Amino acid sequence: MIAFGPVPSRRLGKSLGVNNIPDKVCSYACVYCQIGRTLRMEVERRPFYEPEFIFEEVSKKVEEARMKDERIDYITFVPDGEPTLDLNLSREVEMLKNLGIPLAILTNSSLIWREDVREELFDFDFVSLKLDAMTESLWRRIDRPHKSLSLERILDGMLEFRDDFDGTIVTETMLINVDYGDELERIADFLAELKPDKAYIAVPTRPPAEKWVEPAKEDLINLAYQLFSERLGEDRVEYLIGYEGNAFASTGNVEEDLLSITAVHPMREEAVEELLRKAGAGWETVERLIREGKLIELEYGGKRFYMRALPSRRKP
Q: Which residues contact 67 (CB under 8 A, 6 or more apart)?
A: none
Report the C-alpha gap between 128 and 118 in whole angstroms.
Answer: 13
Report the C-alpha gap between 93 and 124 in whole angstroms.
Answer: 8
Please report the domains of the chain, with CATH numbers, ordered by start residue: 3-242 (3.20.20.70)
**pLDDT digits over 13-29, tens only?**
888 889 999 878 999 99
Helix (H) or strand (E) holding 299: strand 295-300
Q: What is the CA radius of gyration of the chain?
A: 20
Give the DSSP letter of residue 90. Answer: H
**pLDDT digits over 263-280, tens only?**
656 788 888 888 888 888
Between the alpha carbon of residue 146 and those of residues 30, 44, 173, 180, the distances in Å are 11, 11, 19, 22
**pLDDT digits over 208-263, tens only?**
888 899 889 989 999 999 999 999 998 999 988 754 444 444 556 888 878 867 76
Report the C-alpha gap between 105 and 76 in whole angstroms.
Answer: 5
Rounded to two decimals, the pTM is 0.83
**pLDDT digits over 149-204, tens only?**
999 999 999 999 999 999 999 999 999 999 999 999 999 999 999 999 999 999 98
Q: What does the pLDDT average to over 38-47?
A: 92
